[in-house]
Amino acid sequence: MFTQERPTQPASESVLGSDQLLLKRPIIIKAIVTPLWKQEAQQQLQSQSNQLDEQLAQLDIQVEQMVGELSQQTVQLLGVDGSTIAETQSQIQDIQIQAGDRKSELLDQKSQVLAQLSQVRSLELGQEVEQGQVDSFFYAKVGDHLIRKLQGEILLRDGVIEEIRGDL
């Protein structure tokens, strides 16, 4: 039987030594409030509010159409097979309940958007606000302060990186 030995890589050629790890960390994205940032944030939130208004209006129209169609079908079927009005009323109630639930969700979303809009309007120029996060990879080795390595931020001014904070 033939056995083939696996070639081993000398330690000096290794990409990562045994005392090093490649880790992933979240990097917080912050923005400095400027007149441009405020204007763009307000426009975006107002657009979201308008879209929710449109969805609410469409929902009302769809419910009206469905209820109208059910009522019309019931009138046509009454003479044919003796279906009851109670069945139709039950279906209409189900539609209205589902629509009410959806409308409640949309109104909650709109309330949140309007609260965010109010917060944006009250922000002072120069203030830093969190906008999200991205992931970053880093090497950690024996002797590193892991907590400091895990804390990273990118500070933006009108979309341009102004500062990178934390141990890289």
**45 and 64 fall within a common domain:** yes
Q: What local confidence, expressed as pLDDT, does residue 12 receive?
A: 38
What is the tally of structural domains in the chain?
2
pLDDT (average), residues 4-26: 63
**104 and 62 fall within a common domain:** yes
Measured CA to CA in angstroms, residue 61 lies from 54, 66, 94, 165 at distances of: 11, 9, 16, 51
Tell me which H or E stretch contains 41. Answer: helix 35-81
pTM attached to this predicted model = 0.70
Q: Which amino acid is at 49?
A: S
State yes or no: pLDDT of 72 exceeds 90.
no
Domain residues for 107?
36-123
